Amino acid sequence: MRTSKILELVKIVEDHDIGDLEITSFGTKIKISKTSSASGQRVIPPPAATPLPASREAGLEPSAAEMPESPKTQATNVAEVKSPMVGTFYRAPAPDADPFLKIGDQVSAGQAVCIIEAMKVMNEIESEVTGTVVKILVENGEPVEFDQPLFIVEK
């Protein structure tokens, strides 16, 4: 969607009594929200509180196990296999067949990992990464969205 069209949509939301506007066009999804308070400023809620590990509550330094992985470390160790389309997710090529992948299986780039049914067409989805399947994020027969993560693969 062109920037001029997006700016036009923002102006429409600002000028009219519209709280939220969501548009999907050719695989691109845009959501424009307008919130206001008495002062006319946008209200942003504070982030949710997360409990501290026991060592932090006691004033101690956190252990290595309690330290969250940095995003850089996470990005280099794992990858997501995402859905290239909207449809229904199937783990196996047929109802009575074994699933394409189980947790712990090795997967190679180009290997079929699941089927997504869209408009009565069965589309075999291939992995773009090589590694070990560590998590399956979708249940058999569930609907999936475009770009929704299906599997977590450790490289």
User: For the segment 39-96, what is each residue's pLDDT rounded down to a tens digit?
Assistant: 445 555 555 555 555 544 455 555 444 455 545 445 568 999 999 999 999 999 999 9
Q: Which of 104, 92, 94, 82 is nearest to 148 (CA)?
A: 82
Domain spans of the chain?
3-33, 72-154
CATH 2.40.50.100 at 72-154, yes or no? yes
Structure tokens at 127: 């992995």
Query: For 6-40, how does the pLDDT look when each residue is reduced to its tens digit (9 = 90+)?
Result: 777 777 777 777 777 777 766 677 777 776 544 44
Q: Specify the higher pLDDT residue, 136 or 25.
A: 136
- Check if the beta carbon of residue 129 is closer than 8 Å to that of residue 107: yes
Structure tokens at 30: 């845009």
For residue 82, what pLDDT is reported? 94
For residue 72, what pLDDT is reported? 45
pTM (2 decimals)? 0.52
- Check if the beta carbon of residue 128 is closer than 8 Å to that of residue 64: no
Q: Which of 155, 154, 151 is nearest to 113 (CA)?
A: 151
Q: What are residue 11's phi and psi, to 5 degrees?
A: -65, -40
